[in-house]
């Protein structure tokens, strides 16, 4: 059972990560992908992709607070304003000790509008050793195979489909 945290205060995020494990979580995930206005206004979710250094601080704080045996993972997009932040944010999460990174292949501004930019995921995948999981617009088996090929990822995450 993975529990997902969302927030911007590294200290609080660490405390909540530790509490999640006390309550039985076997994986702690951090949400850097949520595009909701209310969430972003309070500096949670995708807006943090404007600040890779803060993403690092948050993920490192959770990693420190959680036992070594529990994977700390992250979910992000490709950026907030545009799709240019994937590599910087992916590298920040890797440096913080993330065990896996799921990438929803759009910016915040792209919202949920097709297409998903799977080719951009491959740039992040090539820049980090951390396993990257591709996400966005996989509805059919054919989408699955094309996403794997274009993103270079072995694993995908399916949301709405």
Ligand X SMILES: Cc1cc2nc3c(=O)[nH]c(=O)nc-3n(C[C@H](O)[C@H](O)[C@H](O)COP(=O)(O)O)c2cc1C
Residue pointed to by tokens 């050793």: 129
The smaller minimum CB distance to ligand X, of residues 14 and 35, is found at: 35
For residue 123, what are its two tokens? 């740039």
> Contact between 138 and ligand X (CB under 6 A)?
yes
Question: Which pair of tokens denotes residue 67?
Answer: 């036992």
Interface of this chain with ligand X, residues 79 to 108, rule: CB under 6 A? 104
Residue 117 CB, nearest approach to ligand X (Å): 12
What's the sign of the alpha-carbon dihedral 68, 7, 161, 152? negative
Cα–Cα distances (Å) from 97 to 24, 46, 57, 67, in that order, read 21, 19, 11, 12
Q: Nearest-CB residue to ligand X?
A: 159
Least distance in angstroms from the C-beta of 53 to ligand X: 22
Q: Kindly state whether residue 73 participates in binding ligand X, applying the rule CB under 6 A.
A: no
Among 124, 137, 151, 153, binds ligand X (CB under 6 A): 137
Q: How far apart are CA 159 and CA 25, in angstroms?
A: 21
Residues at the contact surface with ligand X, assessed by CB under 6 A: 4, 31, 33, 75, 104, 135-138, 158-161
């Amino acid at each position: 059972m993975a529990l997902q945290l969302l927030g911007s205060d590294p200290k609080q995020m660490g405390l909540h990560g530790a509490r999640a494990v006390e309550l039985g979580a076997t994986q702690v995930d951090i949400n850097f992908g949520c595009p909701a206005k209310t969430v972003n206004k309070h500096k949670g979710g995708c807006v943090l992709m404007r600040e890779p250094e803060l993403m690092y601080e948050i993920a490192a704080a959770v990693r420190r607070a959680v036992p070594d045996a529990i994977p700390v993972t992250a979910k992000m997009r490709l950026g907030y304003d545009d799709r240019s932040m994937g590599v910087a944010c992916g590298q920040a999460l890797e440096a913080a000790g993330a065990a896996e990174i799921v990438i929803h292949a759009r910016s915040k501004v792209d919202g949920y509008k097709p297409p998903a930019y799977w080719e951009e995921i491959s740039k992040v995948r090539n820049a980090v050793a951390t396993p990257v999981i591709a996400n966005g617009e996989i509805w059919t088996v054919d989408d699955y195979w094309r996403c794997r090929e274009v993103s270079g990822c072995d694993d995908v995450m399916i949301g709405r489909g």
